[in-house]
């Protein structure tokens, strides 16, 4: 028989169950109301989120279409097929791209106007060349030709070549093409404008060295005095390196080695004090009336000449066999004692089998731009090409190729054009184009250093 305790426990459990049931029945409406309110709040938040996203998309679309023409899409623009939505995107993308192009063109026009204004305002000798950073911007905005031509107008002297013809739109500020055999000028662009000539100076350095008839097998040591303190240009010829005069001359002409050229001039009879006057005296004797040298390497922008004067120098330098050989030598190994150095020609055209180059020299400093002189053969005839102040690492080589293509396209009719010859030039006015012959050039090759 169960005790009274168990009867009391069973009664309490029953009462608790009844109480729970009653409370549950009473709270069901409240729970329902709470759930309904929660659902309503969630629905409201979702609606707000959808409206916000829609507004963002519309604002973004208006921002994209703002610079675009407001013309509506026609049935020609968008087909009625299932690809309609894709076609709309394509057309919209094309309009956005056109808008950007228009905006970029407006910026380029402003840059061009600014650069042209700077070039027009520049009148001093030190500021007559365009700043490299400004020119780089001009190249990006397709305004380079305007800058260069504006600069050239400032540099043209009163005695500039009358026939200033540039049918090829050359990148070089000055250019001259001469039929060496007859002296006929085939192309002339600012040929009498004096410009810095950079390492083209080394042609005159080599000629003066060879005129001195010093022993070519004499050993010369590179010293600290040969280090470039003007541009601080690099060199692999360390102080203490010993090479023969012939090896130094080859490196100066082939690889444009500045320390080699300086060491040659330093070991000239009388040293640099006698060498620089000898360079200027030889230039005067060759008829290079607008040429000046202040040092033997070309690192100084004060070494100046004209395309016309340099054509006379190339014609005279052709009579030096060593200049012809060394300037066109493709590459060479030099034993400097503890190691062997490889040197290559700075003229890329030397490695081009399509060119028959008899003599060449390249040059570059910031003030001079890229320079190139060539004496080459076209259909058995010697032609002198002078290119100065070309902006762009390979622009001077590109100009040379354009000149070659131009001559070939004309069937070399230019070689027979009725232009003044060397002999006729003396009877013409000073401004008339013609390669002026001097008494020294008329002498036999042996008398000018061969």
Residues designated catalytic: 199, 202, 256
Cβ proximity of 300 and 292 under 8 Å:
no
Cβ proximity of 358 and 377 under 8 Å:
yes
Beta bridge partners of 376: 357, 383
- Residue 32 is inside which H or E element, if any? helix 4-65
Q: How far is residue 62's CA from residue 365's CA, in Å, rounded to a whole number?
A: 52
Radius of gyration of the chain from its Cα atoms, rounded to whole angstroms:
40
Q: How far is residue 185's CA from residue 384's CA, in Å, rounded to a whole number?
A: 10
Nearest to 198 by CA among 332, 302, 43, 76: 302
Rounded to the nearest 10 degrees, how much is the dihedral formed by the CA atoms of 416, 422, 428, 429?
Answer: 110
Two tokens, residue 182? 């007859």
Nearest to 336 by CA among 266, 236, 434: 236
Three-class secondary structure assignment of 396-431: HHHHHHHHHHHHHHCCCHHHHCCCCCHHHHCCCCCC
Nearest to 172 by CA among 16, 364, 22, 313: 364
Q: Other C-beta atoms within 10 Å of 272: how many?
A: 15
Q: How far is residue 323's CA from residue 317's CA, in Å, rounded to a whole number?
A: 7
Q: What is the DSSP letter of 165?
A: B
Q: How far is residue 429's CA from residue 326's CA, in Å, rounded to a whole number?
A: 38
Beta bridge partners of 360: 374
Q: What is the DSSP letter of 166?
A: -
Nearest to 304 by CA among 288, 281, 317, 286: 288
Beta bridge partners of 153: none
Q: Other C-beta atoms within 10 Å of 51: how many?
A: 10
- Residue 189 is inside which H or E element, if any? strand 184-189
Q: How far is residue 211's CA from residue 278's CA, in Å, rounded to a whole number?
A: 10
């Amino acid at each position: 028989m169960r005790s009274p305790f168990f009867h009391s426990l069973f009664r309490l459990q029953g009462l608790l169950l009844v109480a729970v049931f009653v409370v549950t029945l009473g709270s069901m409406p409240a729970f329902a109301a709470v759930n309904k309110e929660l659902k309503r709040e969630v629905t409201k938040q979702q609606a707000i989120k959808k409206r916000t996203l829609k507004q963002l998309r519309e604002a973004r679309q208006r921002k994209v279409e703002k610079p675009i023409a407001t013309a509506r899409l026609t049935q020609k623009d968008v087909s009625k097929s299932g690809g309609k939505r894709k076609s709309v995107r394509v057309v919209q993308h094309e309009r956005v791209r056109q808008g950007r192009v228009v905006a970029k063109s407006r910026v380029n026009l402003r840059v061009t106007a600014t650069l042209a204004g700077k070039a027009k305002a520049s009148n001093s000798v030190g500021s007559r060349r365009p700043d490299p950073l400004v020119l780089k911007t001009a190249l990006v905005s397709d305004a380079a030709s305007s800058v260069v031509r504006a600069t050239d107008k400032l540099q043209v002297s009163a005695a500039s070549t009358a026939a200033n013809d540039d049918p090829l739109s050359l990148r070089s500020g000055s250019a001259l093409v001469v039929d060496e055999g007859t002296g006929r000028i085939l192309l002339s662009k600012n040929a009498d404008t004096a410009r810095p000539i950079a390492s083209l100076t080394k042609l005159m350095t080599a000629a003066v060295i060879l005129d001195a008839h010093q022993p070519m097998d004499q050993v010369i040591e590179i010293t600290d005095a040969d280090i470039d303190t003007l541009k601080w240009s690099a060199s692999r010829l360390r102080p203490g390196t010993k090479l023969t005069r012939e090896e130094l001359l080859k490196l100066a002409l082939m690889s444009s080695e500045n320390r080699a050229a300086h060491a040659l001039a330093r070991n000239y009879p009388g040293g640099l004090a006698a060498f620089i006057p000898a360079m200027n005296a030889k230039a005067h004797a060759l008829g290079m009336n607008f040429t000046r040298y202040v040092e033997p390497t070309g690192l100084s922008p004060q070494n100046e000449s004209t395309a016309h004067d340099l054509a006379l120098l190339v014609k005279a330098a052709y009579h030096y066999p060593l200049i012809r050989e060394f300037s066109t030598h493709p590459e060479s190994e030099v034993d400097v004692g503890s190691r062997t150095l490889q040197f290559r020609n700075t003229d890329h055209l030397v490695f081009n089998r399509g060119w028959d180059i008899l003599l060449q020299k390249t040059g570059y400093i910031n003030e001079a731009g890229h320079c190139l002189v060539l004496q080459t053969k076209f259909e058995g005839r010697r032609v002198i090409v002078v290119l100065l102040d070309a902006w762009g690492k390979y622009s001077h080589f590109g100009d040379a190729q354009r000149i070659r293509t131009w001559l070939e396209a004309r069937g070399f009719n230019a070689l027979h054009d009725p232009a003044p010859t060397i002999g006729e030039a003396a009877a013409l006015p000073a401004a008339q184009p013609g390669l002026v012959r001097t008494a020294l050039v008329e002498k036999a090759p042996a008398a000018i250093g061969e």
